[in-house]
Amino acid sequence: MRIALSGYYGFDNAGDEALLSAITSTIKKLEPAADFVVFSGHPRRTSFLHGIRAVYYLHPGQLLRELFRADLLISGGGSIFQDITSARSLPYYISVVALAKFLGKPVIFYAQGVGPINRSLSKFLMRLVGNRVDLITLRDYDSAVYLERLGVSRPPMIITSDPVFSLQPEPGEREDMDNLLQEMGLRGQVLIGVAVRQWLALEGYQEALARVLDEVAERGCRILFIPMAYPEDIPAARKVMNLMKNDAWLLERHLGAREHLALIAHLDIMIGMRLHALIFAASQGVPFVGISYDPKVEAFLKLFAMKPLPLAYEGMKAEIERVLEDDEWREQIRKRAGEMREKSVENARLALSLLR
């Protein structure tokens, strides 16, 4: 049973690498005979990190050969169907889907978060090819509404949850992160994680965030900046740190997906821009607040009846302090995360149903 995977893999983004690990491990538990090939930006790194075969995502001959041999194409998960970060990414990912359908292969959009899609060509391609896939699972209700507005209505469409909810760190990874925090002098401290990224449209929030972090630091909290895309997110972290008066710590180390989960499990709260910083926190029962730079962040927060963190100082301070002091919120997150974990496994069951 050969399964090809197309997504934003091999680019050192913790969230997308976690997705790949979650998808393949969950399917393997249900179908041990599954054999994977990943279309990756860095095949050697992907093979080393995940222990599965990978080919270069822009090599036409290799893509054609692997799709011809495959029994199923999994497109996703994540947010690959949008044209905000690049005008070229959606046409690329949708062309892989189109090629698989041309070869007569079943295709599933796997736990996708869709949009925003602004360009006319992108909308046309999404409608044309999206209506020809065999099954669509989505990680949030907003994505289902968005697809329907685009005119994608033929395939069965099922709302599940992000595959990363099924991923858990191994004991060795928990021990490694315990040791790392011990070395940094942060083990056993009240610890606030911060995961920011560069985003021009939100410039200016850093001053308010630095001021709030200074205030909680003065109350004895420790501030740890965690780059979810390494080393891409380090400049954004340093920008906030340089505005602070109190000490803060920066994780300058590349972590795997499960290591990120093990580290984030030690936090008392996660302040995140990156979507998977929030998903990692939720999956470990850690309270979180989200800085929204993209509708996908707002869609995820909505699943927990939350709104984006205010970007002005007063509102930001009030919300962070509320979450820090709400002991019941952690238990509510754990309960909701457990429900989403069950839904995340449903993605794999549905994908395998296309082969049976």
Q: What is the pLDDT of residue 84?
A: 87
Going residue by residue through the chain, which has 356 residues, state the pLDDT in tens, using 9 for 90 and above.
Answer: 999 999 999 998 889 999 999 999 999 999 999 999 999 999 999 999 999 999 999 999 999 999 999 999 999 988 999 998 888 999 999 999 999 999 999 999 999 999 999 999 999 999 999 999 999 999 999 999 999 999 999 999 999 999 999 999 999 999 999 999 999 999 989 999 999 999 999 999 999 999 999 999 999 999 999 999 999 999 999 999 999 999 999 999 999 999 999 999 999 999 999 999 999 999 999 999 999 999 999 999 999 999 999 999 999 999 999 999 888 888 899 899 999 999 999 999 999 999 97
pTM score: 0.91
SS (H, E, C) 224-259: EECCCECCCCHHHHHHHHHHCCCCCEECCCCCCHHH
Q: Which CATH number fits domain 2-159: 3.40.50.11930, 3.30.1360.120, 3.65.10.10, 3.40.50.1000?
A: 3.40.50.11930
Annotate 38-77 with b (16+ C-beta within 10 A) or e (fewer): bbbbbbebbbebbebebbbbeeeebbeebbeebebbbbbb
Question: In CATH terms, are 2-159 and 171-340 the same topology?
Answer: yes
pLDDT more than 90, % of the chain: 92
Contacts of 90 (CB under 8 A, 6+ apart): 80, 81, 82, 83, 117, 122, 125, 126
Q: Which CATH superfamily is domain 171-340 in?
A: Glycogen Phosphorylase B; (3.40.50.2000)
CA 222-225-228 angle, to 5 degrees, is 145
The secondary structure of residue 187, as a DSSP letter, is T
- Please report the pLDDT score of residue 12 as a whole number: 86
pLDDT given at position 87: 85
Domain edges within the chain: 2-159, 171-340
H and E: helices and strands count for the chain: 14, 12
- Residue 10: both structure tokens together: 């091999």
